[in-house]
Chain A
Amino acid sequence: MEIDRFIIPTVTIFIGLILCFFMLFPLSAILKMSFFKGGEFALANFTLVNFQKYFTTAYTLRALWHSLYVSVVTTIIVTIIIFFYAYAMTRTTIRGKTFFRNVIMLPLVAPSIVQALALIYLFGRNGLITAHLLKTDWNIYGATGIIVSEVLYCLPHAFVILYTTLSAVDIRLDEAAESLGASPFKVFTRITLPSAKYGIFSAAALTFNLTITDFGNPVVIGANYNVLATEIYAQVTNLYRFDLGATISIILLVPSLMAFMLNYYISRKTFSMISGAARPVIPPSRPLKKISYSIYCSLVTFAIFLVFATVIIGSFVKIWPYDWSLTLAHYSFPSIAGYSAIWTSVWVSLIVGIAGAFITLVAGYVMETRRPFFKQTIYLLSVMPAAIPGLVMGLGYILAFNKPYYFFYGTPWIIVINIVICNFTLGILASISNLRNIDPSIEEASISLGGDTFRTFFRIIFPLSRVAFFQNFVYFFMRSMTTISAVIFLVSATVHLAAIEIIMLDNDGWTASANAMCTCIIVIVLIMLGILQIVAKKTGQRPEGMTSAV
């Protein structure tokens, strides 16, 4: 009996079915809800009334303009800031590059709400800087607050892309131009910028996508300034208008999908350009250039530090910014969830980490080395999750699975599944790029020696992938600890998660406790990253740090 013959097709079909059932099916539920009367699929029920309602109601229509406005502005700011930051890392000889590179990644360890919390403490109605130092009435709520917090949130994501691009572009081009007598300004505009253009567009597209789909920051700092993401939440949670929620989801899906596809298309070009490029030594920068870039990078990292310091300090002082005496009072969480939410988050994240790392490794193995004939389909299904905003996916889960016979609905398991699916794309791309580093002959050697698929996978492929596996584990763990939008619709009266508790606490006026909860998450994620470093050092393979986790 040659069972082995059927293992690969079976596993492939299984993975395909999982992705269909937990991704396409919820999406179809959203389509159904928005395009069909009462969400009942039938030709006669087809209607555009929801969209008509959306576009004729001034208040909801404004959310679209608001979203586009903050996303475009954020995108421009982030791209410019990060371009020069990455330029400093790759083209100048300033000191402390390792430090700068690590700090810029820091926002990844916290939920995308930490920025808003910090900004409110600094520039809010009772902000340290606005109300107490400058004694002004101006405050940051609304569009400005959203833009500033989104900028601070998107920096690491954009940095990874531009850093990779600028490292790959041959610096000798610049030198050649300079030696031919071109002024530094001309070199910059004629050589450096054009050679990095794919990276710039790609970083911009990603930033746009992250901003327009983010929920945590706008819900805290947006006040009356509604955006699409917060509007979906409001329609569903406050007004129970699932049909409108689904409709706005579709409207949100359009620009985010476009940005995703643009990014996907561009990054393919970038990577074909990057492969094989040399990385020569950077010539020493002129003192003035060095000083200005050092100051510039210090300012950016200062802003990031300020966010984290504010939230962490804010969680330990009695009454910000009146009474600076230290206290642990905010860590006795007022709501019933409190620490149980943290524990739930931790064990959910551990399961997400293991399951996510394992399933993406298996899927990557099946696709990369065994090349089943439906590889293309599975690949397409695997990259789709990155294009779907977490909030939309979450709403899809309610619409699709809120039926008594889906036993996992309302349990932590649906949260586990949702987070794994939402982050499937990066997980599988990391697995595939790792597997491509393993000599295909090694696998064939094992098979020719009589190793069946199971034993080849567990004795050869898995041990050779364990650092990549652990990196993926940490990535999934981190995403699971910090995601808000994907799971906000899936928490319930019995299942609480730490990241969601931050919003709840903030909403109920327990701002300091919200900061405390946020601090707990940051500490847990940092501990996990520390363990990754130790494990990687022990196994002798250097992890790419957080850079590879995004």
Chain B
Amino acid sequence: METTSKQLVLKNINKQFGDLVAVKDVDLVIAPAEFVCFLGPSGCGKTTLLRIITGFEQQTSGDVIYDDKIINDVIPQKRDFGIVFQSYALFPNMTVHQNVAFGLKMRNMPPKLIDERVGEILKLVGLTDWERHYPSQLSGGQQQRVALGRAIAIKPKVLLLDEPLSALDAKIRIRLRTVIKRLQEELGVTMIYVTHDQEEALALADRVAIMRDGEIRQIGSPWEIYKQPKTSFIAEFVGTSNFITGKKKNGKVQFGRLELAVTNLDDSGNETVYLAIRPENIELVDETRSSENYLASNVVEVAAEVINFLGAIVRITFILEEEEMLVDISEKAFEKLSLKRKDKFKLYFPPDEFHQYTELFRKLI
């Protein structure tokens, strides 16, 4: 199917509920047929931003612009934006067929065309044999497929999904993820997808917008977000990171008794420096290789505290200078090491794998 979506622009959007700032200074240009994910912890304003785009919420200031036209004052039912809700929001008094046909009926499409189109849609979402069933007779995954079908039946200019999969089981979630991604590519529709599940966002989106406290903190491809998290919060929220709070000393970072070498250590006046390193970026020291491969300052010997077998990888918790940290090693390497609890082993912190931050996000447990 042809792309009918046009560019959607959010211009300096702000939204306040009384004193509470729910959305703050959001500026975003979404290209036609782009798949954008809003990712952030719950309460960060994702739903509110989505509802501003759909028109169910009025922004306090700023413009929503579609196809170069400001649509702030266009009521939701005239925006032709499809919405998929977390609760499915199917009409319980209508069959699957009637649910999908609803939007077409509202557009006064002739019944014959409606039937044809509903047939197409149900095929697309894999529910051809379920036309006459009522929502209560379907599983959660099937219901969400109907909701998807209902939203795309009207050929929406933009499709907005608010945590559509979070009420489903893990297995079905992953399967439906694929359905959504394929639909988006086939239909060429702009999709805005809200989730608090970083894995989902990374798997689906062309671009991920990380939100916190109503603001977009970073936006970029999943790869960029993962590889270059701009803040310690993002480093922790997307994937996992180990944090090290150290002091600058002789071009190195002093952390307890350690003095770690860090590539491109920033030379601003701040004495304290916060480093983050992902568990999979810490290496096992391979004793068979010559020590020239390792900077001696970044090699440490630690003891395994907890060993979690996760399948392809093994996650080991260890204590470094009184801080709990994680390292991921492959299942193969683990086998070779034949590590047990309290066993000592050597790790290497590659200097170029550290991210440096000027402040530290601390997750409160």
Contact = CB atoms under 8 A, between A and B. Distances in A.
Interface of A: 2, 4-5, 439, 441-442, 444-452, 455, 459-460, 463-464
Contacts of B80: 450
A455 B90 CA distance: 16
Contacts of A445: 83, 85, 89-91, 147, 150
B361 interface: no
Given A444-B54, A463-B93, A464-B93, 11 more contacts: A5-B75, A439-B87, A441-B85, A442-B89, A444-B76, A445-B91, A448-B79, A448-B151, A450-B107, A451-B103, A459-B102
A119 to B, nearest CB: 49
B78 interface: yes
B154 interface: yes
A450 B106 contact: yes
A449 B75 contact: no
A450 B83 contact: no
Nearest to B84: A445
A445 B143 CA distance: 14
B106 A448 contact: no
A450 B154 contact: yes
A463 B76 CA distance: 23
Contact of B89 (A5, A439, A451, A463): A439
Cβ-closest 9 pairs across A and B: A449-B103, A441-B89, A450-B106, A441-B85, A445-B89, A463-B93, A448-B83, A442-B89, A447-B77
B349 interface: no
B103 A450 contact: yes
B82 interface: yes
B75 A464 contact: no
B81 interface: yes
B92 A448 contact: no
Contacts, number: 70
B75 A448 contact: no
B154 A449 contact: yes
B78 A460 contact: no
A356 to B, nearest CB: 23
A167 to B, nearest CB: 28
A172 B91 CA distance: 40
B87 A451 contact: no
A535 B170 CA distance: 41
A451 B76 CA distance: 10
Given A439-B87, A455-B106, A448 B82 contact: yes
A448 B91 contact: no
Contacts of B87: 439, 441
Contacts of B102: 446, 449, 451, 459
B91 A451 contact: no
A452 B76 CA distance: 10
Nearest to A443: B89
Contacts of A439: 87, 89
B97 to A, nearest CB: 15
B56 interface: yes
A474 B210 CA distance: 53
Contact of B77 (A448, A459, A460): A448
Interface in B54-92: 54, 56, 75-83, 85-87, 89-92
B77 A451 contact: yes
A449 B85 CA distance: 13
Nearest to B89: A441
Contact of A449 (B56, B86, B106): B106
Contacts of B86: 441
Contacts of A459: 91, 102
B77 A464 contact: no
B17 to A, nearest CB: 13
Contacts of A448: 54, 76-77, 79, 81-83, 151
9 contacts: A442-B91, A442-B92, A447-B56, A448-B151, A449-B77, A449-B106, A449-B154, A450-B103, A460-B91
Contact of A446 (B78, B82, B91, B107): B91
Nearest to A462: B93
A447 B89 contact: no
A500 to B, nearest CB: 41
B150 to A, nearest CB: 7
Nearest to B91: A460
Of A5, A444, A452, most buried by chain B (CB within 10 Å of CB) is A444
A5 B55 CA distance: 13
A370 B150 CA distance: 23
Contacts of A463: 93
Nearest to B83: A448
B159 to A, nearest CB: 10
Nearest to B81: A448
Contacts of B82: 448-449
Contact of B75 (A2, A442, A460): A2
